[in-house]
Copies of this chain bind each other. A is one copy, B any other.
Amino acid sequence: MQDSKPGEDYVAGNGLLDRRLFLRAGVGASAGLLCAHAVGQEREPWTRHPGAPMADSGAPAKHTAHIKRLGISSQAGTTGTGVSRTPLEHLDGIITPSRLHFERHHSGIPDIDPARHRLYITGLVKRPLSFSLESLLRYPAVSRIQFLECSGNSGGMLAPEPRDASCGELHGLVSASEWGGVPLSVLLEEAGVSKNASWVVADGADAAMMSRSVPLRKIMDDAIVALYQNGEPLRPGNGYPMRLFLPGWEGNMCVKWLRNVQVTAAPAMTKDETSRYSDLADNGRATLFSYPMGVKSLITSPSPGLAMGPAGIYQVKGLAWSGSGRIRRVEVSADGGKSWADAALDDSVLPMNLTRFRSAWHWNGEPAVILSRATDEHGEVQPTREQVLAGRASNSFYHYNGIQAWAIDRQGWVRNVYA
């Protein structure tokens, strides 16, 4: 790695380079991106004998065994009431492999017999109905690539002192998949929704019978009964054989192991929307039914646990998303927020999905604080931590979407800071 100083390409303080570096070639050599060495070739041992055969189902490389779910924790006295997190710092692109999708269970993963499972449509309908998995496969379907985020994601950022944890440990309750299934509107049309209906109450077939009220308008707009994730049937940890999926809305409403959709005139005020998943303000009042996840971004690399090497040019990459639509812009700062430069966005900027952003940074080897800030297509700008906390009760931790700062020291170590 050459430590050249391509000053003419800087676009923001402390070494941020023009994002065109990440859109097109041609400035690489002149900007001193050289990480390469000129050396001779020798033929490696693995080219000298035939390799392993094909397999029914492929597996990751043994060298990537450290890439697994993080921060698995369960409530005292239980094994399945808790979370596992996506290792964001080891991933790239906008898809989360299903094996690494985060999970949040309220009473573990039920072992459902798909032949016996039924989806019921009940309540304010002309014809109460039930659907088997097999029958749902005959219905009109759609598929879309969209994120899912737990409303409690990043809750650790409300701690008074910054936690010493990795990007995935702090923020790994967000993942993205291609979700495929039947629009719930089609099933409700078939059941015949009564005129006085305006909500549904969805509940799951786990032992917690997790249940949430959802406005009928969202259901008719874009809710699906998801049967497929990333091309294959849902996995048990994500709702096999079927789950509700509400694009952009908080994860707990996307009820897994979906069992019953009751059409109602009003929200049911279930335990899962009163004792939990409500937002307490510092005046003692709570906001219920705060659905869409806010505009948010994170730098996934560099991040804690991924130490920098020597001074030189680095890729700064991360993820941005908004529960209200597409990401329009992501800015990156390398000087603690004093100046900002636009990051490049990977090709597929899809509504209600993760968007991958990348910047080029010439790190001079001195301590630095790096941040990212997202703006969505409605002009909503990701708030600072201070702005998120303003007016909150001290024990309120849902819907945290503040700007994340990482501090880098002279040794190249990266840590979580409040900046």
Binding site for B on A (CB under 8 A): 1, 21-22, 24-29, 33-39, 41, 44, 46-61, 63-64, 67-69, 72, 74, 78-84, 90-101, 103, 105, 107-114, 116-118, 120-122, 127-131, 134-145, 178, 180, 183, 185-192, 205-207, 209, 220, 227-228, 230-238, 240-241, 259-260, 301, 309, 312-315, 317, 344, 346-348, 350, 356, 358, 360
Q: How many copies of this kind of chain does the complex include?
A: 2
Cβ–Cβ < 8 Å partners of A38 in chain B: 127-130
Known: A143-B92, A231-B92. A47 touches B205 (CB 8 A): yes
Q: Are B49 and A207 in contact (CB under 8 A)?
A: yes
Question: Do residues A54 and B74 form an inter-chain contact, with CB atoms below 8 A?
Answer: yes
CB distance from A252 to the nearest CB of B (A): 16
Q: Could you jot down 15 A-B contacts, CB within 8 Å?
A: A1-B135, A25-B220, A27-B189, A29-B189, A36-B135, A38-B127, A41-B260, A44-B117, A50-B81, A56-B72, A60-B233, A64-B233, A93-B230, A95-B231, A140-B358
Of all chain B residues, the one with the shortest Cβ separation from A70 is B56
B99 near A207: Cβ-Cβ < 8 Å: no
Distance in angstroms between the alpha carbons of A277 and B337 in the assembled complex: 54
Minimum CB distance partner of A257 in chain B: B46
Q: Which residues of B contact A188 (CB under 8 A)?
A: 25
Listed from nearest, the 8 A-B pairs whose CB atoms lie closest are A51-B108, A35-B135, A25-B185, A93-B143, A36-B129, A54-B84, A46-B110, A53-B79
Cβ contacts under 8 Å, A314 to chain B:
138
Q: Evaluate contact between A35 and B136: CB separation under 8 angstroms.
A: yes
When the two chains form their complex, are residues A1 and B138 in contact, meaning their CB atoms are under 8 A apart? yes
Indicate if the CB atoms of B189 and A111 lie closer than 8 Å: no
The interface residues of chain B lying within 8 Å CB-to-CB of A139 are 28, 33, 35, 315
- Check A360–B140 contact: CB distance below 8 A: yes
CA–CA, A206 and B53, complex, Å: 12
Q: Which residue of B lies closest to A131 (CB)?
A: B36
Q: In this complex, what residue of B is CB-closest to A133?
A: B63
Closest chain B residue to A209, Cβ basis: B47
- Taking CB as reference atom, which chain B residue is nearest A228? B92
- The interface residues of chain B lying within 8 Å CB-to-CB of A346 are 142-144
Write out the residue numbers on chain B whose beta carbons fall within 8 Å of the beta carbon of A313.
138
Give the CA-CA distance A205 to B1 in the complex, in Å: 25
A69-B41 contact, Cβ under 8 Å, with A140-B315, A231-B91, A232-B97: no
Min CB gap A14→B, angstroms? 17
What 14 additional pairs, Cβ within 8 angstroms, besides A50-B79, A54-B83, A59-B236?
A33-B139, A38-B128, A46-B206, A53-B109, A54-B80, A55-B69, A61-B240, A67-B233, A92-B180, A93-B180, A97-B231, A138-B312, A142-B347, A143-B347
Q: Which residues of B contact A118 (CB under 8 A)?
A: 39, 41
Contact A315–B51 (Cβ < 8 Å): no
Residues of B within 8 A of A207 (CB): 46-51
Q: In the complex, what residues of B have CB within 8 A of residue A46's CB?
A: 110-113, 205-207
For the complex formed, measure the closest distance between the CB of A191 and the CB atoms of chain B, giving whole angstroms.
Answer: 8
Q: Is the CB of A80 within 8 A of B59?
A: no
Cross-chain contact A90 with B232 (CB below 8 angstroms): yes
A346 CA to B98 CA in the complex, in Å? 21
Chain B residues whose C-beta falls within 8 Å of the C-beta of A236 in the assembled complex: 52, 58-59, 61
